[in-house]
Amino acid sequence: MDKPIACDLNAIPLEQRQGHVTLTERLFVQVEERQGLEDGYAYRLPVALLQTAAQFISLERLCCPFFTFNLEVEDERLWLKLTGPQGAKELLEGEFGVTPDG
């Protein structure tokens, strides 16, 4: 059964909330490539952002538990994949400014 698509920013402890918003903005401004997946998106980032991406996941999973998060490192490339149930891809398009074609 799919988890409902409902983000709850209050699930992130208050003292960490603003830091998470700032970290998310810093992370996604450095995306080098986006690839559409059937149920989400893959974002290529500089491999130096591995710990930042892990930090992002550690809090984002609290407010958006319907996402599946995957980090892959190959050579000097880091891929952050966010996938989820029907509707998750559209949420990513709105949240991170990704259009369906790019």
Residues 6+ positions from 48 with CB-CB distance below 8 Å: none
Give which of 80, 69, 65 is closest to 35, Cα–Cα: 80
Provide φ and ψ at 29, rounded to 5°: -75, -20
Instruction: Decide which of 22 and 4 is more confident.
Output: 22
User: What pTM was computed for the model?
Assistant: 0.86
In the chain, where the domains are located: 13-95
72 — pLDDT class (breaks 50, 70, 90):
very high
Domain 13-95 has CATH 3.30.1360: yes
Q: Is pLDDT of 75 > 90?
A: no
Residue, of 71 and 89, whose pLDDT is higher: 71
